[in-house]
A and B are shown apart, each in its own frame.
Chain A
Amino acid sequence: MMRLPWKRTDRGRGSQTSEFEEQALPLLPSLYNLAYWLSRNAADAEDLVQETFLKALRGFATFEPGTNFKAWIFRILRNTYLTSRSGLAAKRTVSWEDEWGEHSEPGPTPYPEGAIDRQTPEMNLIRMGDRAALQNAMEQLPPPLLEVILLCDVEEMKYKEIAMALDIPIGTVMSRIARARASIRRALEVEVEAAREVNL
């Protein structure tokens, strides 16, 4: 339900806090999971989520009821991460935006045929439910690819919501997801090859 801006300011502090709690607290496990994947340790993940919640609470008066709260709060988490110690460190070591040579226009990114793996021994690993191998492969992803695959596959967010949360065009979401999956497949292949060599 849309509320007019001057009516939104009528929300009392108490009711605003409880409204915020109702919407934000169920997302705590999801936000923490993403925060941990990005920051790679529990203490930083807690700090990140805590800061996200406080920023979101402070800015809750500006949130338009009826719009996508999940995308909104994930965007705050992502921006908080980018300015955090671990986020800045990651930014120094991996390239984030244009260096990826991404197409910002919507629509499919043409890939050379060789980029698509048509022999997929790594599927054996997936079939066996080798969670550890997959998690290893995901850990190797740079943050821009990791966050997009987590939002898509774990949080089951639509491309439009991911674009909103990450503040990037839908075309970029699309190409990053394809890149992330290709990277995971490659990493799994490497694991399969390594296992084969050990067995030989």
Chain B
Amino acid sequence: MIENDLTIRIGGEAGQGLESSGAGLAKALARAGLHIFVHQSYMSRIRGGHNWATIRVSPTPIWGPLERVDLLLALDQETIQQDGLDVVAGGAIIHDESLTVNASLLERDINAIPLPLNAIAREKGSPVMANTAAAAAVAGLTGLPFRYIEGVIHDNFKKKGAEVIAQNVAVARAAYDLAVARGPAGCAYCLTPDESAPPRLVLNGNEAFCLGAVLGGCNFISAYPMTPSTSIFQWMMANAGEYGIVAKQAEDEIAAVCMAVGAAHAGARAMVSTSGGGFSLMVEGLGLAGMTETPLVLVDAQRPGPSTGMPTRTEQGDLLFLLWASQGEFPRIVLAPGTIEECFAAGWRAFNLAERYQTPVLVLTDGFQANAMRALAVDALDFAGVTIDRGKLLTPADLDALTEPYLRYKITPSGISPRALPGHPRAIFMATSDEHREDSHFEDEDPANRVAQSDKRLRKLDAALADVEAPRCYGPAQADLTLVEWGSSCGPVRETVDRLNAEGHSANQVHFCDLWPFPVETTRAALQDARRIVVVESNATGQFEFLLHACTGIRAHGHVRRYDGRPFTPEYILARL
């Protein structure tokens, strides 16, 4: 018996409730004290197609998905055809009796476990509850106590009312009891709760970012829905009333970014969330924020491009675009959080950085991180560390005491000008997209003033370097192989490093979250002893590898790139080292 160390995949068509049953089962397992990592594969359609949710379970902390599948719950024949190939020898396919498992799979020592999932759903509830039956059947086959399934059903269907809850519980109970009665034959896995484990949070990267943002005082979001950023907007919208947030769905991404610029200018902690295509439309607004020195937070949840690309998949292909987007030159700060914890921290840090340097902060995440959920200790997110820093913002009392005329774009050694909010009689001022003087007026086009204002803006980037966090090193200080990555590649690379070291190799990891201004000195320090540097990133052209070389002169010895729309796994990386 393999205990608490397996990957479960629930597959079927869009509309069969895979996301909710996957999330429900994940929550049940997390409540049972197990470590989980959940990621999803879905297609850009409302019904049909082939989707899945994959839950990796472990007795110890885990950081990413695996390619292998141990238990496959198939709600349709397509799942058996496609995902059956990922099931390992000794694994099992749990499926409705109406489906068939190919002989070729059975020959590979994969066990077929047919159960009347559809019939149970039909009899005890409704046909749409086959997903509930499947999740409960897994619990029954693996020995997970029923109360964990029941608890999650109660929570998940709370809004749908007592009848829906009762039906789902009845379906789950019947499927669970049938699986228990059948016995674990053919299922070599068991799930044993760890009653001593502390409570765990289960959340994805987008949710973690929202949590950090709200605690960090974010009170304005304007957006236009675009996968895979939409869940940020929806979470903020769903919680807007409770937490005093203005959340506005704009008519397009141009309006979204402009609303956020306006709101930020007036004093809100404002953000906009989008994906690459929407960001393309926002570029002019980004430059406006740079020129007017408006603290804007912009999240790009990357998906494979160009153009529509692969809407529901993942890629790290927007890095260089974000770094240089807009005509002209202005300072920007770019963060690429790579873990749930970093997403949380990026949520509040982005607003502090934006207000401290009065310039746009861009947060790069991606489809993988947006949707992937991990269980973490209930106190793993550092609430005590959250600060709200509004930078050189003049309070009404400061403004009351002003004796000189207020200059919005005053030249200062740091480049940061004291910032007033519109509405105070002592500071009547203008923000200006044209090149402007210290007092915001813009029509003289004086060359010396142009240089002075441009230098002032760009000096802020030098100042911001002090707030840029160094790349994080993991593993032994000295190693034969150093895997360098950024953003969401963090988890899979970490597991790769652990595997290599466990197998007697010598490897470590250098992870970049803060990407711009580029942390040149700390990068050199982190890589000075590296013997062989391999850059791991989810794009075809090696954008970070290029940036690393451009900024530090450090050349990687090799790279592993993935751009098929799927996230990295240790298996994928190890096969290419």
A and B associate in one complex: no
